[in-house]
Amino acid sequence: MSFSSETKTELCELQLGETCCVTAECYGMLLFAREFSEREIRIVTESDAVAKRFRALCRTLFSVSPKTAQKSSRGKLEILVSGEDAERIFSFFGHDETQVSTRINYDIVLPQCCRRSFLRGAYLTGGSVTDPNSGYHLELASPLFNLSHDAAELMKTLGLSPKLTKRGGKNIIYFKSSEEIEDFLNNVGATSSAFRFMDVKVMKDVRNRANRLSNCDSFNISRSINAGVEQAEKIRKTLAEKGKGHFPQELRELALIRAENPEVSLRELGEMLEKPLSKSGVSHKLRRIMEYTE
């Protein structure tokens, strides 16, 4: 089961709350359904849990038992309400066929708890979220322009910051930030999924930091070795042309050791001296040695 399906299953296992919130959740499912009109209500889903949830809402609110078609070859279920039942549900939410465009009836989502319930229903029928191991993306899709903009504005009243775009003839409300996705999941009641999302994000951040540190260490080691090789080559060339007497007595021992050990670190060079020297002391003397090789 995908992360998105698991999230919907978690939401469908929530207890039905107050009548106002049950009504708002059902309204969200209907507005983001495949079809919502006075002639037919049709929800298409891959989730048995979503189908069961919608049937429970319809029985609770309207004493209606939607018909369920067999799964298609793509594994999708169709849940249908038609005839007088569809007309009754459609008008119950304040809609009629004379409307030019479908908008949210704000009388149903005035309380903040009902807004969360509405968005839960909208996500169940029109939403999806990627597995956080793959990336950060949550969206709600609808072919209705005004409905999408109304839903986005509703999200903003809960402190969310959705973005809007169009794709494949649909209006997409989406979030790309992991923090925003966690906030949305918490708002609609998917707290376990939000925590899982957060855990995966933390682990990814830890791995990325470890990789950055490893790459930084590798770069520093490589840079140190390259510098040592360059120093050794210059010292050997100076020794061949002018002899070791070219270097002052206090630099000579270190110059000879570096010439023979281009790959060792400054700390190791200091430990190889007859009188051990600190890393900063070795660095200072090597700078002077390089001046004598120029």
Mean pLDDT is highest, among 154-163, 188-197, 203-212, for 154-163
Buried/exposed code over 256-277 (b: 16+ C-beta within 10 A; e: otherwise): ebbbeebebebeebbebeeeeb
Q: Give the pair of three-digit tokens for residue 81.
A: 């309400």
pLDDT band at 244 (very low <50, low <70, confident <90, very high): confident
CB-CB contact of 124 with 12 (8 Å): yes
- Amino acid in position 61: L
* Top-confidence residue, 88 or 135: 88
In this structure, the chain runs to a length of 294
Domain definitions of the chain by residue range: 3-189, 221-293
Q: In whole angstroms, give the CA distance from residue 13 to residue 50.
A: 10
Q: How far is CA 235 from CA 229, 269, 279, in A?
A: 10, 15, 19
Q: How far is CA 231 from CA 166, 265, 290, in A?
A: 60, 12, 7
Q: In 3-state terms, what secondary structure has residue 146?
A: helix
CB-CB contact of 140 with 126 (8 Å): yes
pLDDT band at 192 (very low <50, low <70, confident <90, very high): very high
> What rounded mean pLDDT belongs to the chain?
87
Domain 3-189, CATH among 3.10.28.10, 3.10.20.600, 2.60.15.10, 2.30.33.40: 3.10.28.10
CB-CB contact of 52 with 132 (8 Å): no
pLDDT band at 25 (very low <50, low <70, confident <90, very high): very high
In the predicted model, what is the mean pLDDT of residues 131-139? Answer: 90
Residue 137 has what pLDDT? Answer: 94
Q: Give the pair of three-digit tokens for residue 176.
A: 């790309």
Q: In 3-state terms, what secondary structure has residue 80?
A: strand
Q: How many CB atoms lie within 10 A of CB 178?
A: 20
Q: How far is CA 267 from CA 47, 112, 247, 264, 273, in A?
A: 63, 64, 22, 8, 11
Residue 241 has what pLDDT? Answer: 81
Among all chains, which residue has been given the structure tokens 């923090």?
A: 179
CB-CB contact of 137 with 175 (8 Å): yes
127-129 and 138-142 beta bridge pairing: antiparallel
This prediction has a pTM of: 0.70
Q: How far is CA 108 from CA 121, 126, 156, in A?
A: 13, 19, 17
Residue 134 has what pLDDT? Answer: 86
Buried/exposed code over 83-115 (b: 16+ C-beta within 10 A; e: otherwise): eebbbebbeebebeeeeeebebeeebbeeeebb
pLDDT surpasses 70 at 101: yes
Q: In 3-state terms, what secondary structure has residue 75?
A: coil
